[in-house]
A and B are shown apart, each in its own frame.
Chain A
């Protein structure tokens, strides 16, 4: 069969992801918790998971008149659709110029332009099914100094795939000039696979091509150490716990002052993370399928994740020791 190689390397395909992992482990009724970013945020607050502070919400076109007064206290913030996906419809304001707002690109927006933009969000221009939506205004994450050397025009984020509460694979998404400062792989951001055990990037791709240095800054993107890695893993593992979703994509950003913040959750996370790591998801997922993780606390699950990562690390371990047996 033409797919033998992919199977041998444990690559997870979309059909298998949907039928084997999402549909049995993610009950449909839990999807609103992650599709609605306000609900996610409320849940985080309830369980003490840090996330960017919410400045305000625009519910309907009628509220647009008071937009100015909502935004007035802040000189920088992010506006995004409550039900947006893949970072669509996100507007980053980095400063004020008199009465005008300054976008991250340097462009200026007046009140009318801002209202039109928010109105587009409310009309559902960026929402998943084109339904009417709400707009949320929140704290703008500050670029962590560690990432200054390897990102361009925006803030990188960390995506962790969590299965049954245990991190399975992780990557760092680095904005580039091509991606217009967004951490969106489709648009040309760099995806760097992170070794779960060490928190270091070990492999990186941009649009399916191997990269070693950031094309805009010229610095190495491989071997970078993600700060507060333990904390990020903890946020990822806990997010799965509080939502009840068995197969989850957790997006975490690192703020220069506040440390790791939970940005959003995804109940149908993409598969590109496998290319970023040059490692299939089926390896860790199939190991975890046989483990009863409900008995483990957060720390034990992170330990398990690291052991599995070490075992499956491509360069080493021709004889994988059965980690899950040790885990019980």
Chain B
């Protein structure tokens, strides 16, 4: 290898490393950025069982609050009239109409959780001053299901020796009692008001939250019940309830099933104050399910905002200054060189045969849309059609272009069929095989049918397997969110790609496949 080529390659790498280092050290870009504040895609689904002609469903809807922002709301109400009403600082959804059996009301939205300053519960706090108590009178007064003025509760507090002198201490002991001494049930064990739960010493999460609030209010700590949902990556959940105590000018969330020091995580707040999550009128049964997905977009938005406000040259030259649609394209496009690198390695170092040079990358891009399993299934279908079609159409003696068009039509019909079948199987995963680029299918069929004729079915099969292997390897590169983010933030990393390609281009050593191809020369004789 010529020293000049090596010098060029090394200088490329040095440039790339220098630029990346400068951007990290001086401009504060992060190599692996933290995804805060988080964006979530949330779906709430109310399932209606046994509705009659005049049904009315009311359920909690989240609202903007100190810990969250709601945007981009979409509703599908399956023929019911759907409206959103503010109610005592909260929002509720009301759907009225004549739904079909098993109807679903779905409400989708995007959620941004806002960071909450972490704080330590004070060691001790004196009793509430009268002025403040009057201000927060609503959070101290008894309610229908939170009977904080009941004699039984005063008796219980005396039994537990919890006094009113130190609010912080009282809160700790009340929470410990609720968590440890009240058994948690599924909520179907009887009345779920505070008094009933305390008497039974067990209750559902809603009942326990009410009980905790009642106890807190009874010792003079302002408190309220909050309904919401814990956010988990690709998770789903029922609505849960917790208590919030107001101490020292802020609200302290208290999960009635978990100790104080358990990590809180992120939660979507649906409703502040006591209430039922879903209230069906004229319907036998209704249930509310919430599912959520973390939105990856968030990381880009953070950078984009920062760079828009910056006047430094490298910030201005950043790809983040592109408009969103263009940016989405370049996010993918910038990974293609890495895919090409994978192809170069597979072909020139390992010696895997493939259809065309960059066909495997196109297939990887297609896998990116459909996921590997569906992609492989489709690829398999295409290959099968290519084989069968060749034998059948060969008899019909069609000209080449109409013949390939015939195959293409057949494949598109098969995809349509597969989609319908998937729909009926109830595949609830994001199934976007329709986006499998049609051009790639056309090329695969054409290449395959030519390969079968030119190189025989055996070699064509080798090509198919090689193409799939390289495409799957390329998929790991092209579908990686981390890499996508890294390359988009530091596009100069492609100087390294260029350097590697330069060196690879002058690699005159053997390919791994030649180790077996020329095995006779290794062992010194051919098998006979």
**A210-B526 contact given A88-B454, A123-B399, A125-B450, CB 8 Å threshold:** yes
Give the one of B401, B456, B507, B510 with max A CB within 10 A: B510
Give the CA-CA distance A280 to B520 in the complex, in Å: 11
CB distance from A121 to the nearest CB of B (A): 10
Scan A118-141; emit 1 where CB is below 8 A from any B CB, else 0. Answer: 011001111000100000000000
Number of B residues with CB within 8 Å of any CB on chain A = 31
Q: Report yes or no: B401 in contact with A6, Cβ–Cβ below 8 A.
A: no
Is the C-beta of A296 less than 8 angstroms from some C-beta in chain B? no
**A14-B528 contact given A123-B399, A274-B518, CB 8 Å threshold:** no
CB-CB under 8 A from B525, the residues of chain A are 210
Q: Report yes or no: B455 in contact with A3, Cβ–Cβ below 8 A.
A: no
**A209-B510 contact given A6-B515, A280-B521, CB 8 Å threshold:** no
Scan A194-220; emit 1 where CB is below 8 A from any B CB, else 0. Answer: 000000000001001111100000000
Q: Report yes or no: A11 in contact with B514, Cβ–Cβ below 8 A.
A: yes
Q: Report yes or no: B515 in contact with A2, Cβ–Cβ below 8 A.
A: yes
B377-418 at interface with A (beta carbon < 8 Å) = 397, 399-401
CB-CB under 8 A from B397, the residues of chain A are 112-113, 116
Q: Report yes or no: B526 in contact with A125, Cβ–Cβ below 8 A.
A: no
| Contact among A19, A126, A210, A274 with B506 in the assembled complex (CB-CB below 8 Å) | A19
Q: Report yes or no: A15 in contact with B511, Cβ–Cβ below 8 A.
A: yes
Give the CA-CA distance A5 to B351 in the complex, in Å: 19
**A15-B509 contact given A125-B400, A130-B446, A209-B527, CB 8 Å threshold:** yes
Is the C-beta of A16 less than 8 angstroms from some C-beta in chain B? yes
Give the CA-CA distance A112 to B396 in the complex, in Å: 12
Is the C-beta of B348 less than 8 angstroms from some C-beta in chain A? yes
| Count, A-B residue pairs, CB within 8 A | 93
Is the C-beta of B25 less than 8 angstroms from some C-beta in chain A? no
Q: Report yes or no: B399 in contact with A5, Cβ–Cβ below 8 A.
A: no
CB-CB under 8 A from B399, the residues of chain A are 119, 123
Give the CA-CA distance A120 to B508 in the complex, in Å: 38
**A15-B348 contact given A20-B508, A126-B453, CB 8 Å threshold:** yes
Is the C-beta of B325 less than 8 angstroms from some C-beta in chain A? no
Is the C-beta of A278 less than 8 angstroms from some C-beta in chain B? yes
Is the C-beta of A145 less than 8 angstroms from some C-beta in chain B? no
Q: Report yes or no: A13 in contact with B510, Cβ–Cβ below 8 A.
A: yes
Scan A1-30; emit 1 where CB is below 8 A from any B CB, else 0. Answer: 011011101010111100110000000000
Q: Report yes or no: A13 in contact with B514, Cβ–Cβ below 8 A.
A: yes
Q: Report yes or no: A16 in contact with B522, Cβ–Cβ below 8 A.
A: no
Closest to B513 in A: A14
CB-CB under 8 A from A211, the residues of chain B are 528
Q: Report yes or no: A16 in contact with B528, Cβ–Cβ below 8 A.
A: no
**A11-B526 contact given A2-B515, A19-B508, A125-B400, CB 8 Å threshold:** no
**A275-B509 contact given A208-B526, A209-B528, CB 8 Å threshold:** no
Give the one of B348, B351, B506, B517 with max A CB within 10 A: B517
Q: Report yes or no: B528 in contact with A3, Cβ–Cβ below 8 A.
A: no
CB-CB under 8 A from A123, the residues of chain B are 399-401
Give the CA-CA distance A5 to B520 in the complex, in Å: 10
Closest to A20 in B: B508
Give the CA-CA distance A205 to B521 in the complex, in Å: 13
User: Closest 4 A-B residue pairs measured CB to CB?
Assistant: A123-B400, A210-B528, A210-B526, A13-B510
Residues of chain B touching chain A, judged by Cβ–Cβ distance below 8 Å, are 348, 351, 397, 399-401, 446, 450, 453-456, 459, 505-511, 514-515, 517-518, 520-522, 525-528
> Can you name 9 A-B residue pairings with CB atoms under 8 Å?
A6-B515, A6-B521, A13-B508, A19-B507, A85-B454, A88-B454, A112-B397, A120-B400, A123-B400
